[in-house]
């Protein structure tokens, strides 16, 4: 049985001061989660200002939610689609030439259901070069999507994805080898 009265975040560290985090919340609300069509270059510059490592030619569409930019990196020529949620309680690394489509959810945090205190667990996510995470896909904590792979729309990825495959379903399974 879960007893949330005993919940703690354990050894989780937010990675920045409360002031920096509050400033990010304001910037995120104004320039990332707004319906206004702010230029992608402005969003990239703001991410860098808050500690993200972002390469050249990165496109960040509207209503993208990156919780802790100081734990986010994107290589060159990365596209992040509308309403994507990147819960970066742990590092999220998107390598070059990757597309993260609309409403994808990259989730680095969860809870231990077997723990009465419902303990927080975090693990990094890596999307390797040349991969595509299609619309509405969920990537679980600790997952690595192999290079040149595709996660089909609406898939739930709970384990690492090998290189050069297409995965689909819930839970996602390899449906096709590529190249």
β-pairing, 165-169 vs 109-111, is: unpaired
Q: In the block, which residue shows the tokens 């919340």? A: 25
Burial class (CB in 10 A: 0-12, 13-18, 19+), 91: middle
* Residue 111 among the catalytic residues: yes
- Element housing 18 (H / E): helix 18-27
Selected catalytic residue, list 111, 171, 176, 178: 111
Whether the CB-CB separation of 134 and 117 falls below 8 Å is answered with no
Q: Check whether the bond before 171 is cis (ω within 30° of 0).
A: yes
CA-based nearest residue to 4, from 120, 118, 122 = 118
Cβ contacts of 51 within 8 Å, gap of 6 or more? 16, 69, 70
Q: Which stretches within 55-152 are classed as H helix?
A: none
Residues annotated as part of the active site: 111
């Amino acid at each position: 049985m879960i007893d949330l009265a005993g919940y703690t975040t354990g050894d989780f560290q937010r990675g920045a001061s409360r002031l920096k985090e509050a400033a990010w919340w304001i910037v995120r609300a104004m320039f990332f989660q707004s319906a206004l069509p702010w230029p992608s270059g402005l969003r990239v510059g703001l991410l860098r200002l808050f500690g993200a490592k972002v390469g050249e030619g990165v496109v960040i569409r509207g209503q993208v939610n990156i919780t802790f930019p100081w734990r986010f990196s994107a290589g060159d020529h990365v596209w992040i689609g509308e309403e994507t949620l990147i819960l970066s309680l742990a590092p999220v690394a998107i390598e070059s030439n990757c597309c993260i489509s609309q409403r994808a959810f990259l989730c680095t945090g969860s809870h231990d259901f077997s723990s009465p205190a419902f303990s927080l667990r975090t693990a990094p996510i890596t999307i390797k070069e040349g991969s595509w995470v299609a619309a509405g896909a969920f990537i679980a904590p600790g997952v690595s999507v192999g290079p040149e792979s595709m996660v089909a729309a609406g898939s739930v990825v709970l384990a690492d994805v090998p290189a050069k495959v297409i995965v689909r379903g819930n839970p996602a399974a390899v449906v096709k080898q590529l190249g």
